[in-house]
Chains A and B, each alone.
Chain A
């Protein structure tokens, strides 16, 4: 597998984790459950990125190894949502 795969997986985990944390802080400040739900969604994306990395380098593959195109799609979604909170 090329270096592209771990790179995409790390970016996915990272971007999603940042948004999960920002979402959780938003929940703490506003108390709105909606923020917690969005934060959890990003947390799951982040877990998916971490799982892709683990499954690539270890034999822990209970759900198989996610394909690169699927990871790229996930990263695109998360990166676009990340941009939406950076830009006015």
Chain B
């Protein structure tokens, strides 16, 4: 699956999560209608959200109603601060997609400098959501708690400030003499 498709999937899941948070007990057809999604698509995403512990469901008559699962923990500020930025988000999605990936392979996939990648990887490792293993001279990265990262990416609410900050970092962060 391409990067664009993955980002779109994440966005759709975020929309579904936000809708069910606002209207708990919604059933599949209602969510489909309100969010204008195809039946197969909504079914796939609802199953995914249930499997990843974000939603709980209950049968009521012949309808399956969805709720935000009790065990969903909203993310702490520290990790949110990191994952709100586009580049760390891209990195963690790439690592999740590959399960384990080397520094060189991440560099190939993302159009950034070595130093920028090292900077973001260090932050992600420090936040304990990414782990690194050495094999010879190469470093390999993997996501420590994939379920938790999926929860964070889906449950956080982005705001106007987040978008402004992201663009500010994009504009000024990559500038070099």
Q: Which residues of A contact B (CB under 8 A)?
A: 19, 22-23, 25-26, 28-32, 34-35, 38, 84-86, 88
**Does A22 contact B85, Cβ atoms closer than 8 Å?**
no
Give the residues in chain A near B84, CB-CB below 8 Å.
29
Cβ–Cβ contact B123 & A26, under 8 A: no
Give Cα A86–Cα B171 distance, bound, in whole angstroms.
10
Contact B164 A85, beta carbon cutoff 8 Å: yes
Within 8 A of A (CB), among B62-86: 81-82, 84-85
- Which listed residue, A22, A25, A35, A88, touches B173 by the CB 8 Å rule? A35
Contact between chains at A23 and B85 (CB < 8 Å): no
Known: A22-B165, A85-B167. A28 touches B81 (CB 8 A): yes
Structural contact, B123 and A22, CB atoms closer than 8 A:
no
In the complex, whether B161 has a CB less than 8 A from a CB of chain A is yes
Please report the C-alpha to C-alpha distance between residue A23 and residue B168 in the assembled complex, in whole angstroms: 7
If the complex has contacts A28-B81, A30-B85, are A86 and B167 also in contact, measured as CB distance less than 8 A? yes
A30 and B172 within 8 A (CB): no
Which residues in A have their C-beta under 8 angstroms from that of B164?
22, 85-86
Known A-B contacts A22-B161, A29-B81; A34 and B173 likewise in contact (beta carbons under 8 Å): yes
CB pair A22–B168 under 8 Å, yes or no, is yes
> Within the complex, what minimum Cβ distance (angstroms) separates A2 from chain B?
32
Give the CA-CA distance A32 to B81 in the complex, in Å.
13
Chain A residues, CB < 8 A from B171? 84-85
Query: What is the chain A residue whose CB lies nearest that of B82?
Result: A29
Contact B81 A26 (CB under 8 A): no
Cβ–Cβ < 8 Å partners of B168 in chain A: 19, 22-23, 26, 35, 38, 85
